[in-house]
Structure 1
Amino acid sequence: MPGRPTTAPHPPAGRRTAQDTATDVVRWAAFSCVLVPVVLVGYGTSLAGAAGTALGLAAVTGACRVLLRRSERGAAQLRAAERTPHHVQHGRAYVGDRHGGRHAGGNTPVD
């Protein structure tokens, strides 16, 4: 139809991925790295003080971005491990009883 957007709308807030959320957090942090020094200069802080604040905020933002990405990778690996069957994780290619046959368990008396 004419006048309708060709791209899909953003997913609802409840359906957003962790990567989208982390990207939004980093964008807001980068925005604050610009906004905070401007406000500081507006309230009479020296340019050197505002620049130092901007550098400090940029360093914290960078560190947080690295930690968020590392966390996302760890969560993705954990989800992948949960989807992988247990016997495949430990290198066993068979399903069912491990060795067939009966053996005494830890609480079973042996005669």
Structure 2
Amino acid sequence: MVRWAAFSCLLVPVVLLWCGGSFAGATGTALGLAAVTAACRVLLRRSEAGADAAGAARRGRHHRAAPGARGSGRHSGGNTPVT
């Protein structure tokens, strides 16, 4: 996704110049697209890191039991054999 954004940061100003736009306008457009691309990349990495941390926290809570806590209630006693 970021590669396409970088490609568009280069392609859009070229197209603007080819269609008769000014060099200053094409430069401003390229800088604006680069800023938006950088901001989106930062936000994407943050959301991925947050999702990884949330997934690890969920997995950690699921496998860790409080001291003295009983299981899910499925087994009635400690080491009693099932008959």
TM superposition score category, shorter chain reference: 0.7 to 0.9
- Within a 5 Å distance, the mapping from 1:4-83 to structure 2 comes to 25-83=1-59
Partner residue of 2:60?
Answer: 84
State percent identity of aligned pairs: 65
SS state at 2:64 partner? helix
CA distance in 1 between partners of 2:32 and 2:12 (Å):
11
Structure with a larger share of its residues in helix:
2
CA distance in 2 between partners of 1:95 and 1:86 (Å):
13
SS state at 2:8 partner? helix
Partner residue of 1:96?
Answer: 70
CA distance in 2 between partners of 1:28 and 1:81 (Å):
33
Which blocks of at least 5 consecutive residues in structure 1 are unaligned?
1-24, 98-111
- Cα distance, 1:85 vs. partner? 3.0
- Cα distance, 1:26 vs. partner? 1.0
Q: State the superposition RMSD in angstroms.
A: 1.9
- Structure 1 residues 26 and 93: alpha-carbon distance in aligned structure 2, compared to 1, 3 A threshold: farther
Moved more, 79-88 or 37-46: 79-88
What is the total number of aligned residue pairs between the two structures? 71
Q: Is the 8 A contact 1:87 1:95 kept in 2?
A: no
TM-score after normalising by structure 1: 0.58
SS state at 1:45 partner? coil
- Structure 1 runs of 4+ aligned residues shifted over 2 Å read 85-89, 92-95
- Structure 1 residues 94 and 87: alpha-carbon distance in aligned structure 2, compared to 1, 3 A threshold: farther
Q: Is the 8 A contact 1:33 1:58 kept in 2?
A: yes
